[in-house]
Structure formats: C-alpha cells, structure tokens
Amino acid sequence: MIRVSAGTANVLGLKKLTTDAPPTTAYLMSGEKCSHDCAFCPQARNSTGRSDLLARVTWPDYDENTVVSEIGRSFACNRLKRTCLQVVNRQDSLDKAKNFLTKLKQNTSVPVCVSCNLSTPEEAGELFALGADRVGLALDAACERVYQKVKAGSFTKHLQLIEETARLYPGRISTHLIAGLGETEEEMVAIMAYMVSLGVTIGLFAFTPVKGTRLENGQPPDIASYRRIQLAQYLLANKLVDRKDIKFHGGKIIEFGLPRKQLAAVAKTGKPFQTSGCPDCNRPYYNEKPGGVIYNYPRPLTPEEIDAVLRELGFTAGDAACSGD
C-alpha cells in the first residue's frame, strides 16, 4: 500500500473530490511515523496528530500497483507531469524508495522526485541510477537557531549533505524551506541565496499549524512578510538580483535591489507567488484552506489576485500602472 494525497487520488480517478486546482504532480507518501521529531509535522515521532496527514493534506492508502498504473495512464494523457515520492524517515526508507521507484519506472517515464532519509551523496546517486529525475533534501528551517527549535540533529551536517550532493549532481537537487518558524526575513533570504548559489531548487512553504503537532498553536506567517520572501526568492532564483542588493531593517526586507517600477512589473506577472519547487509541482492547498488566504498559488493568478498581492506588498496604484502594461 502507498499513501496518495487526496488531490492526487482525485486526478488518478481513485477518489471523487471537487477542486478548482488539481495537482500537476502526483504526491505519494510511503510509511508513517517518522524517526525524526519535527515540531511542525504530523508524521513526527511524538506527534499525536492524524497519521494520514502531511502538512494540512490527507493521504488515503491505495494499492501500490493500482497507483503505479494510474500514474502511467495520467502521465500519458498529460493530466500529470511529475511524481513526488516522499518516504517517511525510518531505517529502511532508502530501500522503500528504491523499490517503489523501480516499480514506477518499469511502468512509466514520468519524471520522479524522491525525498527520503539519505546519509551520503552516493545514496542520491543510487536513486538517480534507478531513474529518479531529482532528489529532495528538505532543510525546512532557515538557520541554525530555528533548526534547533523545531528539528533535531545538526543543521550544519544537514547543510553539508545538501552542499555535497548538489555539487555532485548539479541542478538535480531540491530543498524545502518553511517560512514562519521564527526566522527573520534576512535569515530566509540568506539561506535562499545560498541554495540558489548551489543550484538547489527551493520549494517554499508557509508554516501551517496542524493539530497534534508541537506547533499546533503557532501562527502562519504574516501574509505581507510571506509575499516579500516569495518575491525575493523569485528574484534570486531568476538571477534578477544578488543577495547583497537586498536591504533589511530589523531583519525585514525594505529594498529588493530593483527600481520600484521594475519591481512592480515583476510582481505584476504573478509568477513569484505561484508555488515554487521542482518543475510542475503546484502542491494545491498544502498551506491553505480553499477560500482562505492563499500563500502559494497552484495556478496563474487572476488580475484581481494580482491586485491583492500588490497591495499586500505595499505597491501604490502609481507603482502598479507601470511598464508591465
């Protein structure tokens, strides 16, 4: 059996769900109850949350062979463009990932990103040899201080594994960063710039409190702050600015390193506010309830949504009536 996100199960025809944003990646999770104890995660060792949750998404169980054949069918008719396999951290997670990956690649050529418990860059090589297109190594926390608060183990060691793996497999590593765990915007920009310099793709998340986790009473990030981080991430990832161009006051971004009208033109595309990460990964409603504040848009923004984002970023009508038109 393998867990499949509810939205994925809907695309695969395994479950009926009404949604305005179907996933473009099949999200799969193998195993449950992680050996780690991250404060934000319902799969954490000491979480009392539902074992069928990851972020705020439910993950019903399905037969592996059925899932593999339905992914093949959905990929062939372009309903899905990627598969993301996350294996919950246990001693056997690499073997589990390899077994499922082998089965999947025997049946379909869908690009696959695999995230599991790796100890060495060579283990990532084993996944690439079996057909993984990308490997995910989630850092989650932006800095040592936050890492110690919400995760266990060594930030430095984890960062070193990402560095070494990214050097060995350039352009093929993704990471996750969660905004709203207590880091400053300056700390988030520093780690994002570093990941970009390593060629690591960033999947940016907004912290979401989930019942049963240590941080169940925490608050999601302020939306204006999250928009600034998204904009900075987009500018850095697309090499439109350098880290040194971005200015801060009290840890908060006050300048992005582009003239205001040019910055408004980038924001007006809406692209910085769409889900970031591996190609074709849109993670619908991972961080948000349908109808609530949308942190990561799983599709292009409507003109009204772009106006709202510009207001959240403090652009005036004069800034917005800019070169983008």
Cα–chain center distance at 51: 20
> Which residue's Cβ lies closest to ligand SF4?
277
Dist CA 126 CA 128 (whole Å): 5
- How far apart are the C-alpha atoms of 277 and 258, rounded to whole Å? 24
**Straight-line distance from the first to the last Cα atom of the chain, in angstroms, rounded to the nearest whole number:** 51
Smallest CA-to-CA distance from 203 within 283, 130, 314, 263 is with 283
**Minimum distance from CB of 86 to ligand SF4 (Å)?**
7
Compute the least distance from the CB of residue 97 to ligand SF4, in Å: 12
Give me the DSSP letters along 186-201: HHHHHHHHHHHHHT-E
Residue (2 or 313) nearer to ligand SF4, CB: 2
* Interface with ligand SF4 (CB under 6 A): 25, 84, 113, 115, 136, 174, 176, 203, 277-278, 281, 283
Reduced to 3 states, what is the DSSP secondary structure of residue 242?
Answer: coil
Select 203 or 272, whichever has its Cβ closest to ligand SF4.
203
Q: How far is the CB of 187 from ligand SF4 (least distance, A)?
A: 21
For residue 316, give both structure tokens.
Answer: 């005036």
Distance in Å, CB of 33 to ligand SF4, minimum: 20
User: Least CB distance from residue 135 to ligand SF4, whole Å?
Assistant: 9
86 versus 184: smaller Cβ distance to ligand SF4:
86
Residue (84 or 231) nearer to ligand SF4, CB: 84
> Residue 205 or 256: which CB sits closer to ligand SF4?
205
Whether residue 124 contacts residue 169, with contact meaning beta carbons closer than 8 Å, is answered with: yes
Return the number of the residue (146 or 278) whose C-beta is nearest ligand SF4: 278
For the bound state, the minimum distance from the C-beta of residue 261 to ligand SF4, rounded and expressed in Å, comes to 32
Helix axis angle, 155-168 relative to 121-129, nearest 10°? 40
As given in the structure block, the two tokens for residue 72 are 């093949």
Based on CB atoms, which residue is closest to ligand SF4, 25 or 184? 25
Q: Please, which residues have CB within 8 angstroms of residue 312's CB and are 6 or more apart in sequence?
A: 223, 224, 227
Smallest separation (angstroms) from ligand SF4 to the CB of 175: 8
Between CA 3 and CA 100 the distance in angstroms is: 12
CA dihedral 316, 317, 322, 325 (to 10 degrees): 140
